[in-house]
Amino acid sequence: MLSDETVEETNGDSFGKVKQRFKDRSQKVVQTKAIMSKKAVQTKEMLSKQAVKIAKQAEEHERFINKVTHLLGVLGFGGFCFLLGARPHDIHYVYCLFYIIFVPLRWIYYRFKKWHYYLLDFCYYANTIFLVDLLMYPKNEKLFMVCFSFAEGPLAWALIVWRCSLVFNSVDKIVSVLIHLLPGLVFFTIRWWNPESFAAMHPEGSSRRASWPYVEDKSYLLTWLFLVPLGAYTLWQVLYFLIVNVLRRQRLVRDPEVMTSYRELSKKAQKANNIWWRLSGLLGDQNRMFMYIAFQAIFTVATMALTVPIFLSYKLHVIFQILKISAAIWNGGSFLLEVMPKQVILKEKKKAEIQPAQPQRPQDQSLVLMENSIETNRSTEAS
């Protein structure tokens, strides 16, 4: 009996020790998680503060930065045009380098401006897929066709419809244009000009020059140039809705200054009271978001359908490239001549209201003269 009781006590002690060990380990895991979570929050706050600090410094030296940006923008655009003619097969490396550098910088600037939800838009989703295709699966014909549909469909037509402007003294506008323009040029060169693809451009038994990828079956073309891209777009739309309208809904409600694509477009449409604002309100104000999603879906379907003839015709594809570049340059000229002078005058007026006691600088006097000349021209036109 004594031996049995001793054994039971020993077993009980060992079980208690094991239980205590598990309890201690679980407590350590909880403490480790708490420390890691705290460090993650601190890191996030530090990055946000640095983003705000960098953006404020950029605004303080805005004029000088604009001059430097204009110089580098013109030189960079000229260099890109040279590379496009001299080494078209290396253009995709230029695009990848551009995207990897400038999109994180854009996040820093947009985080300060409370525009960072723009980086959830379809163009960034599509560009991420482009990077995967170009860097990891460059010879995958099916993925190439999906990317081609994105680049020469919604992204290309957004450049025209949303009036993206090629303004060399604005980093933000240059990046916006290139995000929509460069992918189309990259896939144009791969499809028609890339020497590495020439071997695949001559099917067996045929001396006629074909394109890469070489497609004979129309159902194959329709599947990978229209149906699969449409499915990938639908996936993005579902994810976007869940993130912006479900997971981050309270954040957007608390802070009306945080901008999304829907907020910006609806704000502009309401101010202009145009046809898009009236159409989006057909089902009531509470359903404007769903009407916006429906309009965007119609736009996507239509532009993806137009990629089929562009994909099949070299001449049509060349004309489309010229159209896109011309639209961006035209919109840039309109911005410089019509919008930018008004913006400069408004900024100087705000500065004058904040610092009324300071004497006018020569640059401020020139802006006043510019404003007077604009008002004189308006009165002359009115008379």
Do residues 105 and 120 both lie within one domain? Answer: yes
In a domain, 363, yes or no: no
Do residues 124 and 59 both lie within one domain? Answer: no
**Cα–Cα distance between 251 and 243 in angstroms, integer?**
11
Do residues 342 and 297 both lie within one domain? Answer: yes
Average pLDDT over residues 366-376: 51
**Cα–Cα distance between 200 and 191 in angstroms, integer?**
11
> Mean pLDDT for the chain?
79
Provide the domain limits for residue 312. 88-204+214-351
Task: State pTM to two decimals.
Answer: 0.73
Whether 44 has a pLDDT exceeding 80, the answer reads: no
Do residues 258 and 169 both lie within one domain? Answer: yes
In a domain, 262, yes or no: yes
Whether 267 has a pLDDT exceeding 80, the answer reads: no
Whether 373 has a pLDDT exceeding 60, the answer reads: no
Do residues 50 and 196 both lie within one domain? Answer: no
Query: For the chain, how many residues are written?
Result: 383
* Region of poorest pLDDT, from 19-28, 115-124, 141-150: 19-28
Domains: count for the chain: 2
In a domain, 4, yes or no: no
pLDDT category at 382 given cuts 50, 70, 90 is: very low
How much of the chain, in percent, has pLDDT values that exceed 90? 29
Task: List pLDDT tens digits, range 189-231.
Answer: 998 887 666 555 555 555 554 556 767 678 888 999 999 999 9
pLDDT of residue 180: 94
Do residues 80 and 170 both lie within one domain? Answer: no
Average pLDDT over residues 138-156: 93
Distances in Å between the Cα of 378 and the Cα atoms of 282, 349, 365, 369 are 38, 20, 20, 14
In a domain, 7, yes or no: no
Do residues 293 and 223 both lie within one domain? Answer: yes
In a domain, 249, yes or no: yes
pLDDT of residue 210: 55
Task: List pLDDT tens digits, range 59-107.
Answer: 667 778 888 888 988 998 899 889 888 888 889 999 999 999 999 988 8
Do residues 195 and 152 both lie within one domain? Answer: yes
Do residues 70 and 98 both lie within one domain? Answer: no
Do residues 58 and 191 both lie within one domain? Answer: no
Task: List pLDDT tens digits, range 226-238.
Answer: 999 999 999 999 9
